[in-house]
Amino acid sequence: PPSRSTFNSGGGGGRTGRVPVGIGRKRLRIVVTGGAGFVGSHLVDKLIGRGDEVIVIDNFFTGRKENLVHLFSNPRFELIRHDVVEPILLEVDQIYHLACPASPVHYKYNPVKTIKTNVMGTLNMLGLAKRVGARFLLTSTSEVYGDPLEHPQKETYWGNVNPIGERSCYDEGKRTAETLAMDYHRGAGVEVRIARIFNTYGPRMCLDDGRVVSNFVAQTIRKHPMTVYGDGKQTRSFQYVSDLVEGLVALMENDHVGPFNLGNPGEFTMLELAEVVKEVIDPSATIEFKPNTADDPHKRKPDISKAKEQLNWEPKISLREGLPRMVSDFRNRILNEDEGKGL
């Protein structure tokens, strides 16, 4: 592939000719699609914190201005209400492409829109990357492995995905997004990076997004029972959001295309997760069983040897350390909600 402009030593070519932010590195102009969401807003904090310019593109489907309001007066920050399904013209050095609902409740709400976001949205952002010579990072997902027949999952595993199920708009959408990224890389020389993210939790998750960690934490704070779906023996591996942000930045700044699994290999059944929530938030918490959803993967755990070796990255925060860090944010928002209802 043709080599891109190298005036930004931080990686990601581009045409913006930024001014220096410190010794040895120029200020970058970076787009974060989906930057008003849970992961995106933490990533934006990190990029602004290190001195770069950030443009967030978000249609606010699941994102919230509140996640970014503390940056509104910062001259290096810009927020554009825009749907990535439509084309957009910008001049940038790097693109972190996160725009896509991530929780099953949200991505199943309008499955056709989810596919359009994954396919047309990713195509537009790759077209933009190609035009301006920007480096492009795709946030793919562990769901590309489907209900995995290999455990733990390595990046070389091709997955076991139902193409016609209720989760397919997301799983197959992300698989197509990976394909598009690789085709722009091979065919047009776009510098791409692919992250396969495993379940991530932390402050600013939507209270009502139906994911297991946000559900259990919100239910416990509200003194409701934790809803365990199925027999609760299915497993997931939970990563704290700051570990993920470190991994995404390490991947963007590195020379390897990926894909890379970014997740915490600590594996828990949903019943074990409920025990940890009980232990760290409220010992009097209870559980209730509910029927499980269709096509729910039985187990999931990343093999992260590749990211350890090639990116020198591994998560640092265990579930017991991470969970307490999201409690005050959840408590405050639940309190505000209750006050809003006049409770």
Q: Which residues are catalytic?
A: 170
Question: What is 251-297 written as a DSSP string?
Answer: HHHSS----EEES---EEEHHHHHHHHHHHT-TT--EEEEPPPTT--
3-state SS string over 120-157?
Answer: HHHHHHHHHHHHHCCEEEEEEEHHHHECCCCCCECCCC
The rounded distance, in Å, linking the Cα atoms of 136 and 94 is 6
Select from ligand UDP, ligand NAD, none the partner in contact with residue 62, using the beta carbon and a kind-dependent cut-off of 5 to 8 Å: ligand NAD
106 and 62 Cβ atoms separated by less than 8 Å: yes
In angstroms, what CA-CA distances link 247 with 83, 116, 198?
26, 27, 12
Q: What is the DSSP letter of 86?
A: S
The rounded distance, in Å, linking the Cα atoms of 276 and 320 is 7
Select from ligand UDP, ligand NAD, none the partner in contact with residue 128, using the beta carbon and a kind-dependent cut-off of 5 to 8 Å: ligand UDP
Counting contacts by CB under 6 A, is residue 173 touching ligand UDP?
A: no
Select from ligand UDP, ligand NAD, none the partner in contact with residue 227, using the beta carbon and a kind-dependent cut-off of 5 to 8 Å: ligand UDP
Measured from the CB atom, the residue of 54 and 273 that comes closer to ligand UDP is 273
- Kindly state the smallest distance separating residue 36's Cβ from ligand NAD, in Å: 4
**In the block, residue with structure tokens 């409740």:** 105
User: According to CB under 6 A, which one of 52, 53, 83, 171 is a site residue for ligand NAD?
Assistant: 83
**Binding residues among 49-88 for ligand UDP as defined by CB under 6 A:** 87-88
Per-residue tokens: 215: 């559900």
**Binding residues among 236-275 for ligand UDP as defined by CB under 6 A:** 236, 270
Select from ligand NAD, ligand UDP, none the partner in contact with residue 237, using the beta carbon and a kind-dependent cut-off of 5 to 8 Å: none
User: According to CB under 6 A, which one of 123, 180, 195, 287 is a site residue for ligand UDP?
Assistant: 123
Counting contacts by CB under 6 A, is residue 258 touching ligand NAD?
A: no
Per-residue tokens: 55: 């443009």
**Binding residues among 194-253 for ligand NAD as defined by CB under 6 A:** 197, 199-200
Q: Which stretch binds ligand UDP (CB under 6 A): 123-131, 175-183, 256-264, 334-342?
A: 123-131
Measured from the CB atom, the residue of 206 and 287 that comes closer to ligand NAD is 206
99 and 58 Cβ atoms separated by less than 8 Å: yes
Select from ligand UDP, ligand NAD, none the partner in contact with residue 127, using the beta carbon and a kind-dependent cut-off of 5 to 8 Å: ligand UDP
CA dihedral (71, 86, 247, 196) positive or negative: positive
User: According to CB under 6 A, which one of 31, 39, 44, 285 is a site residue for ligand NAD?
Assistant: 39
Residue numbers at the binding site for ligand NAD (CB under 6 A) = 33-34, 36-40, 57-63, 83-85, 98-102, 117, 121, 139, 141, 197, 199-200
